[in-house]
Structure formats: C-alpha cells, structure tokens
Amino acid sequence: MFPHPGNSSKIEDKSFPHKNTLQIDGRLISWNKPQLMGIVNLTPDSFFEGSRTEKSLEKVAALVKSHITNGASILDLGGYSSRPGASDVSLQEELDRVIPAVSWITATYPDILISIDTFRAKVAEEAIRSGAHIINDISAGDLDQDMISTVARLQVPYIAMHMKGNPQNMQKKSNYSDILIEILYYFAEKLEQFRKSGIKDVIIDPGFGFAKTLEQNYYLLRNLHQFQTLSLPILVGISRKSMISKALDVEAGRALNGTTALNMFALCHGANILRIHDVKEANETLKLFNTLYP
C-alpha cells in the first residue's frame, strides 16, 4: 500500500480522513488556526533549566497561570525528562510528579486542555482519569506495548512522535538512508496500526531533536510541508532545543530569539501546534502570522 522507505515517491496516507477539527472532552477544536501548547516540566532535569518546576506546586501554579494568561490553549505536562541521555524515572515517581498537577489544574482551570507527555500507558490512563484530555507519546507506542490499546479504549486524541530508541540511546540512532521518506513511511505504518486499533484522532510530531543530527533537524524543518500529505494536524516542538543553541553557539537560556524565528518558519510551512516554553513570545509570533495569512 505504501512505497518502500528507499522509494522517493510521494507518500500519502488514507487511513484517516483529512481533519481540521478534533473532538476533545466534548469540545470541537479547530486547527484552521494554529494553537499554542505551553510546556509544564514537572522534572528536576529538563534540558532548559528555566522550565523546571519539580514538585513545587507554587512553581507549577505560577507557570500554568502565565501560560494561560499569555495565550496557551493546551498545557503539556511531563514527569519524565526526554532530553538526550536523561536518567530513567520509575513509574511511581512519574505518577507522583504528574497526577497531583493534573488534578490541580483541572480543578483550577476547568476550560484549559491538558496533554500528558508520557510513553507509559499506566501514566497516560491515570492522567486521563484525573482530568487530562490528550496523550502525547514520544515513542508513538513503541516503548509500551499497552499504549495503543489504552489510547483506543480511552478514545482520546493521540500525539504520535517519531523517535528511534529511547532517551538514553536515541542520539546513537541517527543513521538514515533518506530521513524524510523513512519518517513519512514510519507514520504511514503507524496510522494504519492506529486505525485498526480504533484510535480516531491523531496528531503527528516529526520529533525534532530525537535520534536526529543538527543537519537532519534542519532538513526536516525545511521539508515540514511534506508531512501535510498525511492530512493530519502537525505539532512542532523546537523550543530552545540544541538544534537552535548549537547553530547559534548559545546556551538554551539564550535561544529564545532563535526559537521565535524558527517557530514563524514552522507556521509558514504547515505547523498546526507549537509546543513552546515561552508562550508570550510565541503568541506574538502567532498574531503576526495570522496578520500575514488572515
């Protein structure tokens, strides 16, 4: 049904109808205008120090309020750092980090959409039961054999990202014959698997920084529009990543300007969701994009 990864012909997936909307918690969410996803790292070791909240509810509360005030429509909560070489975290520790935050945000801001950033089915299910609405999986089901069936059973939107290996070894797995064709083929196969499992709403994430070199990241970004052949919303997460800081020879803390520049590029080439640390600046970028393309 799909060409081999070595074939450079166009890949187009027909497993899902083209969707400009998603059903989330009884609400119809439109992707006709891009959305902002604010990052809430509930970890002590995320790559960008300024985003770490650990277990401090006070820090979480301040960050959440700032994200919402500045224009985020989705909050992405994660309790397992996926930076290259990150330490493993036990299941219980991840649950202890994320579930109280999900419950608090649900009670305090009942209208905000919550995404749970995890590759573990148990964490995903507990978060959804506690009030989260979306599952964001860096492995697209590859790191937990129960994830896909869990998403199908819960009937919630699923963000599937491309990655090879795991956070501990992914940077050793950046060998590709044709990275664009291989990733498109990967998603085509995944979408067929999701459809057969009963998952209805999918968002795709090319996985910038995950098992990809600096040059490969920029090649994928230049060709972001090619992912529109899959006819699904596209999430781009490049905020303050090393693909920016290395190119500019700065630390992550000084990579905001570069992030803003590349976020505008991503919007112009088909991004439907920006996953970002700095919501205020991303919202300004989005406003200018919407002015350019009303």
Instruction: Write down the pLDDT at residue 53.
Output: 54
Judging by DSSP bridges, how do beta strands 273-276 and 74-78 pair with one another? unpaired
CA–CA gap between residue 273 and residue 94 (Å, rounded):
25
Instruction: Write down the pLDDT at residue 31.
Output: 83
Instruction: Write down the pLDDT at residue 241.
Output: 94
Q: Distance of CA 288 to CAs 53, 195, 268, Å?
A: 30, 36, 11
Task: Enumerate residue ranges in the chain where pLDDT < 70.
Answer: 1-19, 45-56, 83-86
Radius of gyration of the chain from Cα atoms? 18
User: Which helix (H) or strand (E) element contains residue 217?
Assistant: helix 214-222
Instruction: Write down the pLDDT at residue 48.
Output: 42
Cβ(163)–Cβ(54) below 8 Å = no
CA–CA gap between residue 252 and residue 240 (Å, rounded):
5
Q: In the chain, what are the domains?
A: 34-287 (3.20.20.20)
Instruction: Write down the pLDDT at residue 30.
Output: 83
E strands, the chain, are 21-24, 27-30, 35-41, 74-78, 113-117, 134-137, 158-161, 202-205, 235-236, 273-276
Catalytic residues: 241, 275
Cβ(273)–Cβ(235) below 8 Å = yes
CA–CA gap between residue 279 and residue 285 (Å, rounded):
10
Instruction: Write down the pLDDT at residue 84.
Output: 64
pTM (predicted TM-score): 0.89
CA–CA gap between residue 103 and residue 227 (Å, rounded):
34
Instruction: Write down the pLDDT at residue 32.
Output: 83
